[in-house]
Amino acid sequence: MNVPDNLLYTESHEWIKREGDKIRVGITDHAQSELTDVVYVELPKMDRQANAKEAIAVVESVKAASDIYAPVKGTVVEVNKALEADPGLINREPFGQGWIFVLKIDKPDDLKNLKDAATYKKQIG
Amino acid sequence: MTEAAQKKTPLYDEHVKRGAKMVPFAGWLMPVQYTSIVEEHQAVRKNVGMFDISHMGQLIIDGNEARDWLNTMLTNNIDKLEVGQGQYTFLLNERGGIIDDLIAYRIGDAKFLLVVNASCTDEDFAWLDRHRPSNIRLGDRSAHFGGVAIQGPRVSELFVNLPARNHIVDLELDEMPISMARTGYTGEDGVEVFFSKGDAVKFWNAVLEQGRDLGIKPCGLGARDTLRLEMCYPLNGSDLSPERNPIEAGLGFFVDLTKPNFIGRDVLLKTKENGPREKLVPFKMIDKGPPPRPHYSVFANGERIGEVTSGTSSPSLNWGVGMAYINAPYAKVGAKIDIEIRGQKFPATIEKKPLYKKS
């Protein structure tokens, strides 16, 4: 299972890529392979403020709806509109074109609470 | 129930070997999918797929009076069955509520096989046993048998001499004695095959080998659910329950009210006479949006009129579909309803059965 070393991770299977004072967020290869067949993505509203671990998006597979959480406190500044027409991007390119939203974060220090690749790899066994 | 307490079918190791994702279902550890629900669904619609149904219960009823007695326990008319024929039917409680939906096969002059839902096997057995006259034998052979459903348009290329629709035959394949029924839960041509537990692995692998050139795929419960929902076949526990009767569920076709006596008959007669308060209806979302799911509320003109019991994104239609119990006056084909999804209402239309038709 692909777990890129340059990303951070959450217990709930989001990946986080730091881009200055922003973070780009998606779900991991492991998560998409568990869900399979993503058929719908509910994106967060632009400018929405979210606390860490607050559910702000929904990824729906054939089988079930899964909440996607803000990894840290921040404001939604970008959402991946391409997922509305092609939700399967999450299955095909979970770490690339399948990203879900970008948060402008309040405190970069918050990122210290996230997992590195090695720790996440252990979690998913 | 912990994972350790879940029962395993004789095919458990085969599922794990093939990388299936195993989940608890009705007290069993069952494959929900091997590769993808959509891929497995399409295999059944286009070629052929095989499901492990070893978790389903198999009850045997035997005795000279078995036919007359079963006719008082089940809703459909057992007298219509010739030897080797099966019918879909219901086991009801005194209130007309559905204990289980099942297929009853007449496998001998006075011998019947009931194939019942895994989650209901013990309850069905206890209910039948409680009402059983002493001269009728009732047995539960579930623990000694395995079963598979092989479904899809190319199933006739896999076996020669398939039994007629809804019929069951005993035969031998590769020295394995099996019973093969021309039945299924997918809307495609197909068979359900029952065999002794010890033959399960051999049979499973022989069919996969034999079907390789036909594009056969092992399929999980995920695809089983999307396939049956496209056909509007009910799932007990979701669309059927002890609080619902077959008339409300739109399944009166499988109830013979001309029979003089069966448990639940009085209530069904009354429901039929007065009309049910709520009806189970299939629906399709109008826009491409989030798929409906069980327990979502249904609205019409701003008023809550019911609840979704089954819902998904149909792999064949690539669109949201479902079934819901709604107040009977609203249950008209073509009528518009709203499904509430995460606080927002999405329009849908009430459809005719089935939701998916082969083009």
Q: What is the mean pLDDT of residues B94-112?
A: 98
> What span, in angstroms and rounded, lies between the C-alpha atoms of B246 and B252?
6
Q: Quick one: pLDDT at residue B91?
A: 98
pLDDT > 90? residue A36 = no
pLDDT > 90? residue B103 = yes
pLDDT > 70? residue B246 = yes
- The pLDDT tens digits of the residues spanning B124-169 come to 999 999 999 999 999 999 999 999 999 999 999 999 889 999 999 9
Question: What pLDDT band is residue B3 in, cutting at 50, 70 and 90?
Answer: low
Q: Quick one: pLDDT at residue A96?
A: 97
Contact B226, B315 (CB under 8 A): yes
Locate the chain A residue with the closest alpha carbon to B40: A37
Q: Which residues of chain B lie closer than 8 angstroms to A34, CB-CB?
A: 21
3.30.1360.120, 3.40.50.2000, 3.60.20.10, 2.40.50.140: CATH of B3-55+144-230: 3.30.1360.120
Question: What pLDDT band is residue B4 in, cutting at 50, 70 and 90?
Answer: low
Sheet strands (E) in chain B: 7-8, 21-25, 28-33, 49-52, 57-62, 86-92, 98-108, 111-116, 137-140, 145-151, 168-173, 176-181, 190-196, 217-219, 278-285, 297-300, 303-314, 319-327, 336-341, 344-350
What are the residue ranges spanned by the domains of chain B?
3-55+144-230, 277-359
| Binary contact (B313, A42; C-beta < 8 A) | no
Contact B94, B85 (CB under 8 A): no
* Residue B78 parent element (H or E): none
pLDDT > 90? residue B358 = no
Q: Quick one: pLDDT at residue B128?
A: 98
Q: Does B344 contact A at CB distance below 8 Å?
A: no
How is residue B77 written in tokens? 């008319």
- The pLDDT tens digits of the residues spanning B52-71 come to 999 999 999 999 999 999 99
> What span, in angstroms and rounded, lies between the C-alpha atoms of B61 and B77?
16
Q: Please, is A97 exposed, middle or buried when counting C-beta atoms within 10 Å of its C-beta (0-12, 13-18, 19+)?
A: middle
Nearest to B289 among A36, A40, A65 (CB): A40
pLDDT > 60? residue B40 = yes
What ipTM was predicted for this assembly? 0.88
pLDDT > 70? residue B1 = no
How is residue A94 written in tokens? 């979970």
How is residue A14 written in tokens? 């989001």
Q: Quick one: pLDDT at residue B282?
A: 98
Q: Does B142 contact A at CB distance below 8 Å?
A: no
Q: The domain B277-359: what is its CATH number? A: 2.40.30.110
Q: Which residues of A lie inside 8 Å of B (Cβ-Cβ)?
A: 34, 36-37, 39-40, 42, 58, 60-65
By DSSP bridging, strand A101-105 and strand A74-79 are antiparallel
Phi-psi region of B175 (alpha: psi -120 to 50; beta: other; left: phi over 0): left
Is there a common fold for B3-55+144-230 and B277-359?
Answer: no
What are the residue ranges spanned by the domains of chain A?
8-109
* Residue A13 parent element (H or E): none
- The pLDDT tens digits of the residues spanning B163-189 come to 999 999 999 999 999 999 999 999 999
Architecture of domain A8-109: Beta Barrel (2.40)
Question: What sign for the dihedral angle of Cα B326, B329, B333, B334?
Answer: negative
pLDDT > 70? residue B2 = no
Q: What is the mean pLDDT of residues B205-224?
A: 97
